[in-house]
C-alpha cells in the first residue's frame, strides 16, 4: 500500500522522466568539471547558437511535419539503446546525470566514512546492491521469513494489516500518501486511492486484440515464475486465479482521464464512514499497521471504485490473496534476489511490456537504487559540482520575465472577464518558483543501512520513507519541501502549494544554456517554465486559487469559454495516431497539452519582450523566430519502441514528443509566418480553428 512521498499524483510533472524502468530507477550524477562542462553541451555539437542543425531533415516541409523537419536526420540515424524503451533529449541528459551521480557515489564510497554518515549509507547501499556474488549465494534466504509470514496469513483482516506494513511495501487494492488538504491548505491529510494492478492500468486487462492478449499471457507466465520461486505447486493455475482477481479490480477502477478530475477525487470522510461505505477490506487494520491509527479523517479519491474493490477483496478466497501478495512481494524485491528472478521481472515489465532488449547495467540500477533512497544527500554534492550560482540567477530572471509576460496575457485576454482576471493575476503573482535545489536538505540520520543485509536495508528504507512522509500529519505546511531531487531531469507544478519547480539537472542544453542565443533558451527552458505555469491554469490546475485552495474562482461565462477552447484541443489530439489503431487520448492528455500550448505562447511573448523592441539578429540565415521554434521542436526529440509507445498512449497523461511539437505549433500564428506554412500543408489549420487560450 505505501507510496513514496516524492512521486504522489499531485505533482504535475513535465513528463521528461517517463519510461523509468520497472524497478523505479530514477535518472540521476561526476567528478568536478569546468563551468562549460557543467551547464551546457559544447557549442560545436549545438551549432553556432544552440540548435543541432545536423539533426534536421530539410527534405521535409516544416508545415507538413515540423517534428521531423527539426529532428528527422536524428530520427533516421539514431537507434534506441538496447537497455531503453525510448530515447531522446531527456534520456541524453538523464544518462549524463546518471554518470555524474555514479562518480559522486563512488567518491563517497571511497572516502573514510564515519559510521552513520551519509557517505557510509550511500557507499554501503551501493556496494550491497552491486555484490551479486553474495546475492546469488544467499538465494531466497533473506526473504524466507517474509514468505513464511505471507503464507501464514489466515484471513482478510490479517492480509490488510500486512499490506499496510510500510517495510514490506506490498501491493494492495488501495494505495495512499500524505499531502496538503486541497480545500484546507493549512493542514496535511492522508489520501487513499485505487491501486493493486500489476500491469500499467486497467486497459491492459480489458482491451481486445492480439497485442493485449499477448501482454496478459506474458503476465500470467511471469506471475507463475514468482509463485514457483516461492515454492507454490501448480503455479500457472494459481497465477490464473490471481489474474482473475486483478481483472475484477481492473473492471471497477476509474480510467486515467476520469482520475484527473479533481472535483470527483475529493471525497472527505471519517474512517467509520469509510468502513461502512466500503466493507470487505479492513481499513482499520491497514491504517493501524501503517502508523495511521490516530487519523480519523481521510480523503478518498475514486470512491465507488474503492468500494467495489473492497467487496472484490472480501469475496476472494484468502488463498488467492496470499498468492497475490507472494507474487508482488517477490517481484518488488527482484533486483535484490538471484538473477533468474531479476531477469524474469525484466523480461515481463521491460521486454514484454515496453520492448526493451537488454537489462540495464547493474551499476546504473545501483545508482537509481541509491538515489531513490538517499537522493538529497547525493543532490547536495551534485549541486556543488554541477550547478553554478550564475545559472540559478539566469533562471530567476527567466521566470520573472515569463511571469510578467503571463500577466500581460491575462490582461489582454478577450474571453476572460475582469473578475476572473483579478483572481488569475493573484494566482500568477503567488506562484512560488523553486530553482535548482532545496533550501533545506533532508536529514537521513535516523536511516540505517547495513552493508551485509541488502534486503534488510531496503526494508529499513521503505519504512523510513513512509514514516518520514506520515510525520507531516499534524504539523505545519513545509513549503520548502521538494518532490524531486536536484539530479532529476524533469520539472513540475504542485497545485496545493501553487509552486513551480525546476531541478538543477534539467537546466542544461538543449533546455538551458547560458552561452546560447536568447531565442534558443526561450524556446527551450522558457517553454518549460511556461508549461509549468500553464498547469496552474489548465483544466484541473485552474480549479485551485493562488493559495492552492481548490475552489471555483471562475465566472460561469469564463468557465464555459475556457472549456470550449479545451475541448477543441481534445478533438485535435484525439485524431493523432502514432501506430495503426492506436490514438492519443485527448482528454487524458489535456492538462499537459494545455501546458505545452501555454508554454510556447508565454515563452514566445517573453522572448519578444526580452528584445526590448529591437529586431532579433539573423544567425546562419535563420531569424530569431525560426531559432525559437527550432529550439522548441528540439526539446521534444524522442523515439519509442512500439510497446513503449502503446504504454504511453494507454497510461501517460503526456502526448508523445511528436505531438508535443506538431500538435502545438499548428495552433500558433507566429509559427506559420516563421516557416511560411500555407493551406495544403499537412499541419495547416485555418486561423479560426487554431486554439488560442492566452
All structural domains of the chain with their residue ranges: 34-101+387-440+479-689, 156-317
Peptide bond into 261 cis (omega under 30): no
pLDDT reported for residue 38 = 25
Buried b (16+ CB within 10 A) or exposed e, 383-397: bebbbbeebbebbee
Instruction: Answer whether 492's CB lies under 8 Å from 525's CB.
Output: no
User: Which pLDDT belongs to residue 22?
Assistant: 27
Q: Do domains 34-101+387-440+479-689 and 156-317 have the same CATH topology?
A: no
Whole-angstrom CA distances from 510 to 31, 40, 63, 517, 661 are 22, 8, 23, 12, 15
Residue 199 to residues 204, 236, 321, 674, Cα–Cα distance (Å): 7, 17, 17, 44
Q: What is the pLDDT of residue 527?
A: 98
DSSP E strands: which ranges in 65-171? Answer: 86-88
CA 217 to each of CA 161, 213, 243, 650: distance values in angstroms, whole numbers, following the listed order: 31, 6, 10, 18
Separation between Cα atoms, residue 95 and residue 85, nearest integer Å: 14
CATH topology of domain 156-317: Neutral endopeptidase; domain 2 (1.10.1380)
> How far is Cα 641 from Cα 619, in angstroms, rounded to an integer?
36
Q: With a cut of 50, which residues of the chain have pLDDT below it?
A: 2-7, 16-46
Q: Contact 403/50 with Cβ under 8 angstroms?
A: no
**Amino acid 47: pLDDT:** 53
What's the pLDDT score for residue 341? 98
Give φ, ψ of 79 to 5 degrees: -100, 140
Q: Write the pLDDT tens digit of every residue in 258-276.
A: 999 999 999 999 999 999 9
pTM, whole model, 2 decimals? 0.93
Number of Cα atoms under 13 Å in the Cβ half of residue 409: 26
pLDDT of residue 10: 63
Per-residue pLDDT at 12: 79
Residues 6+ apart with CB under 8 A from 427: 498, 536, 537, 544, 545, 546
Residue-wise burial string across 469-496, b where 16 or more C-beta atoms lie within 10 A, e elsewhere: bbebeeeebeeebbbbbbbbbbbbbbbb
Q: What is the dihedral of CA 271, 467, 485, 107, to 10 degrees?
A: -160
Predicted pLDDT of residue 21: 24
CATH topology of domain 34-101+387-440+479-689: Collagenase (Catalytic Domain) (3.40.390)
The per-residue pLDDT for range 587-626, each reduced to its tens digit, is: 999 999 999 999 999 999 999 999 999 999 999 999 999 9
Residue with cell 491509527: 293
Backbone CA torsion sign across 246, 252, 257, 258: negative
Instruction: Work out the burial of residue 631: count CB atoms within 10 Å of its CB; fewer than 13 is exposed, 13-18 middle, 19 or more buried.
Output: buried
Q: Which residue, among 151, 111, 144, has the nearest Cα to 127 in the 3D structure?
A: 111
Round to whole Å and give the CA distance between 210 and 222. Answer: 18
**Tell me: the pLDDT tens digits for 214-230?**
999 999 999 999 999 99
Q: Is 202 left (phi over 0), alpha (psi -120 to 50) or beta?
A: alpha
pLDDT computed for residue 109 by the predictor: 86
The residues pairing with 177 across neighbouring beta strands, listed in sequence order, are: 191
Amino acid at each position: 500500500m505505501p507510496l513514496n512521498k516524492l512521486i504522489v499524483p499531485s505533482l504535475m510533472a513535465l513528463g521528461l522522466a517517463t519510461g523509468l524502468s520497472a524497478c523505479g530507477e530514477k535518472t540521476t550524477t561526476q567528478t568536478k568539471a569546468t563551468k562549460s562542462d557543467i551547464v551546457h553541451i559544447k557549442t560545436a555539437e549545438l551549432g553556432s547558437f544552440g540548435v543541432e542543425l545536423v539533426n534536421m531533415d530539410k527534405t521535409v516541409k516544416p508545415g507538413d511535419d515540423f517534428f521531423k523537419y527539426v529532428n528527422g536526420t536524428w530520427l533516421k540515424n539514431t537507434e534506441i539503446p538496447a537497455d531503453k524503451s525510448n530515447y531522446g533529449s531527456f534520456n541524453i541528459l538523464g544518462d549524463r546525470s546518471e554518470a555524474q551521480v555514479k562518480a559522486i557515489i563512488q567518491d563517497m564510497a571511497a572516502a573514510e566514512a564515519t559510521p552513520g554518515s551519509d557517505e557510509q549509507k550511500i557507499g554501503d547501499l551501493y556496494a550491497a546492491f552491486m555484490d551479486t556474488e553474495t546475492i546469488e549465494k544467499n538465494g531466497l534466504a533473506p526473504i524466507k521469513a517474509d514468505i513464511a509470514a505471507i503464507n501464514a496469513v489466515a484471513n482478510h483482516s490479517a492480509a490488510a494489516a500486512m499490506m499496510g506494513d510500510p517495510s514490506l511495501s506490498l501491493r494492495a487494492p488501495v494505495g495512499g500518501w500524505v499531502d496538503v488538504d486541497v480545500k484546507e491548505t493549512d493542514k496535511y491529510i492522508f489520501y487513499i486511492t485505487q491501486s493493486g494492478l500489476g500491469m500499467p492500468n486497467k486497459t491492459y486487462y480489458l482491451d481486445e486484440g492480439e497485442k493485449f492478449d499477448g501482454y496478459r499471457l506474458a503476465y500470467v507466465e511471469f506471475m507463475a515464475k514468482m509463485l514457483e520461486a516461492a515454492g507454490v505447486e501448480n503455479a500457472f493455475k494459481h497465477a490464473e486465479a490471481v489474474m482473475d482477481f486483478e481483472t475484477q479490480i481492473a473492471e471497477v477502477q476509474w480510467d486515467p482521464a476520469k482520475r484527473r478530475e479533481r472535483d470527483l477525487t475529493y471525497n472527505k470522510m471519517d474512517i467509520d464512514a469509510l468502513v461502512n461505505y466500503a466493507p470487505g477490506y479492513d481499513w482499520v487494520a491497514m491504517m493501524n499497521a501503517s502508523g495511521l491509527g490516530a487519523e480519523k479523517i481521510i480523503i478518498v479519491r475514486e470512491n465507488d471504485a474503492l468500494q467495489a474493490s473492497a467487496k472484490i477483496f472480501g469475496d476472494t478466497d484468502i488463498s488467492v490473496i496470499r498468492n497475490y501478495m507472494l507474487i508482488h512481494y517477490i517481484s518488488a524485491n527482484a533486483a535484490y534476489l538471484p538473477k533468474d528472478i531479476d531477469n524474469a521481472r525484466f523480461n515481463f515489465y521491460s521486454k514484454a511490456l515496453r520492448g526493451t532488449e537488454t537489462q540495464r547495467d547493474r551499476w546504473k540500477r545501483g545508482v537509481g537504487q541509491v538515489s531513490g533512497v538517499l537522493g538529497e544527500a547525493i543532490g547536495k554534492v551534485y549541486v556543488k559540482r554541477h550547478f553554478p550560482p550564475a545559472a540559478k540567477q539566469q533562471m530567476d530572471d527567466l521566470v520573472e520575465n515569463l511571469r510578467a509576460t503571463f500577466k500581460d496575457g491575462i490582461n489582454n485576454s478577450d474571453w476572460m472577464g475582469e473578475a476572473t482576471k483579478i483572481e488569475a493575476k493573484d494566482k500568477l503573482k503567488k506562484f512560488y518558483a523553486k530553482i535548482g535545489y532545496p533550501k533545506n536538505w533532508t536529514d537521513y540520520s535516523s536511516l540505517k543501512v547495513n552493508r551485509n543485509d541488502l534486503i534488510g536495508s531496503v526494508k529499513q528504507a521503505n519504512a523510513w520513507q513512509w514514516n518520514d512522509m506520515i510525520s507531516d500529519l499534524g504539523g505545519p505546511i513545509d513549503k520548502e519541501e521538494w518532490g524531486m531531487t536536484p539530479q532529476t531531469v524533469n520539472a513540475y507544478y504542485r497545485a496545493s502549494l501553487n509552486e513551480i519547480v525546476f531541478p538543477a539537472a534539467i537546466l542544461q542544453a538543449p533546455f538551458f544554456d547560458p552561452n546560447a542565443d536568447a531565442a534558443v533558451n526561450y524556446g527551450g527552458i522558457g517553454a518549460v517554465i511556461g508549461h509549468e505555469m500553464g498547469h496552474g491554469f489548465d483544466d484541473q490546475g485552474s480549479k485551485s486559487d493562488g493559495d492552492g485552495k481548490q475552489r471555483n474562482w471562475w465566472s460561469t461565462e469564463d468557465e464555459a469559454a475556457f472549456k470550449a477552447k479545451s475541448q477543441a484541443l481534445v478533438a485535435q489530439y484525439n485524431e493523432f495516431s502514432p501506430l495503426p489503431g492506436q490514438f492519443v487520448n485527448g482528454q487524458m492528455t489535456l492538462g499537459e497539452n494545455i501546458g505545452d500550448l501555454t508554454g510556447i505562447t508565454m515563452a514566445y511573448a517573453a522572448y519578444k519582450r526580452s528584445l526590448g523592441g529591437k529586431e532579433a539578429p539573423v544567425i546562419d540565415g535563420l531569424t530569431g523566430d525560426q531559432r525559437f521554434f527550432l529550439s522548441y521542436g528540439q526539446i521534444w526529440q524522442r523515439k519509442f519502441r512500439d510497446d513503449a509507445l502503446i504504454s504511453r498512449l494507454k497510461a501517460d497523461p503526456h502526448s508523445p514528443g511528436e505531438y508535443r511539437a506538431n500538435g502545438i505549433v499548428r495552433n500558433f500564428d507566429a509559427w506559420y509566418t516563421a516557416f511560411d506554412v500555407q493551406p495544403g500543408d499537412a499541419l495547416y489549420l485555418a486561423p479560426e480553428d487554431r486554439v488560442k487560450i492566452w
